[in-house]
Amino acid sequence: MKSRNIIALITVTISMAFASCQSIPKGMSAVKPFEQAKYLGKWYEIARLDYKWERNLDNVTATYSLKENGDIKVDNKGFNYKKNKWEQSIGKAKAAGEPNEGMLKVSFFGPFYSGYNVIAIDPDYKYSLVAGKNTDYLWILSREKTIPEKIKQDYLAKAKALGYKTEELVWVKHDKD
Q: Quick one: pLDDT at residue 13?
A: 34
Written in H, E and C, the secondary structure of the chain is: CHHHHHHHHHHHHHHHHHHHHCCCCCCCCCCCCCCHHHHCEEEEEEEEECCCCCCCEEEEEEEEEECCCCCEEEEEEEEECCCCEEEEEEEEEEECCCCCCCEEEEEEECCEEEEEEEEEECCCCCEEEEECCCCCCEEEEECCCCCCHHHHHHHHHHHHHCCCCHHHEEECCCCCC
All domains of the chain in start order, with CATH: 2-171 (2.40.128.20)
pLDDT category at 26 given cuts 50, 70, 90 is confident
pLDDT in tens, 103-135: 999 999 888 899 999 999 999 999 999 999 999
Q: What is the pLDDT of residue 125?
A: 98
Give this prediction's pTM. 0.86
pLDDT at 83 over 90: yes
pLDDT beyond 90 at 27: no
